[in-house]
């Protein structure tokens, strides 16, 4: 665990910044369009781009927080890493002294049923479902694209490679996400 904390402290993950696609989604939401983000990414870039956290469903959790394996208390990764930088090689939970881990879903762990349930509800109710930068092969998240189409949503897939849901899509975009998504969102809201 000590080596893992050092790798997190010295690694580039928490220095990542939102790109044009993240910012385009946030602009769309700020313009009054009802937007929800369902993501498998753990990078926390949608909230950093300006999306309200309550409108972002992080299916696999977030690397920007830590969670106690015993009492489930959550706090910021930044605060835990500050403790590491100050000399604590394996910071414990400040509530109960338990072991802290990244607030991400680890291999073998199930998704949070509340977050997944909310994602399913949002998916069933949406008018447009845009799957961006995903192979649509990691389940249960991959099934959301088909679920949206089954409930009458327009399905748009933005991905460099083919996916198992391409035949269900109303539109396929094979261009770089950073330029394709902002243009797509502008076109969708204008039309």
Active-site residue numbers? 60
Q: How many helices (H) and strands (E) does the chain have?
A: 7, 8
Q: Are 89 and 79 in contact (CB under 8 A)?
A: no
Give Cα separations from 135 to 97, 103, 165 (angstroms).
Answer: 39, 24, 9
3-state secondary structure of 57: strand
Length of the chain: 191
Give Cα separations from 56 to 7, 51, 95, 177, 191 (angstroms).
Answer: 27, 7, 27, 19, 25
Alpha helices in the chain (DSSP H): 2-10, 20-30, 45-49, 77-85, 113-125, 143-150, 177-190
Q: Are 140 and 120 in contact (CB under 8 A)?
A: no
């Amino acid at each position: 665990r000590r080596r893992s904390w050092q790798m997190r402290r010295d690694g580039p993950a928490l220095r990542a910044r939102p790109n044009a696609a993240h910012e385009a989604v946030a602009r769309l939401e700020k313009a009054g369009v009802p937007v929800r983000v369902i993501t498998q990414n753990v990078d926390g870039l949608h909230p950093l781009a300006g999306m309200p956290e309550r409108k972002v469903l992080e299916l696999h959790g977030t690397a920007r927080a830590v969670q106690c394996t015993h009492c489930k208390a959550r706090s910021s990764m930044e605060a835990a890493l500050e403790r590491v930088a100050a000399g604590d090689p394996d910071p414990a939970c400040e509530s109960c002294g338990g072991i802290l881990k990244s607030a991400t879903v680890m291999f073998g762990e199930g998704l949070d049923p509340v977050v997944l349930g909310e994602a399913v509800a949002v998916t069933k109710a949406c008018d447009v479902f845009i799957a961006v930068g995903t192979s649509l092969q990691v389940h249960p998240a991959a099934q959301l694209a088909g679920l949206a189409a089954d409930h009458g949503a327009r399905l748009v897939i933005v991905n460099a490679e083919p996916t198992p849901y391409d035949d269900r899509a109303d539109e396929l975009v094979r261009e770089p996400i950073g330029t394709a998504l902002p243009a797509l969102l502008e076109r969708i809201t204008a039309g």
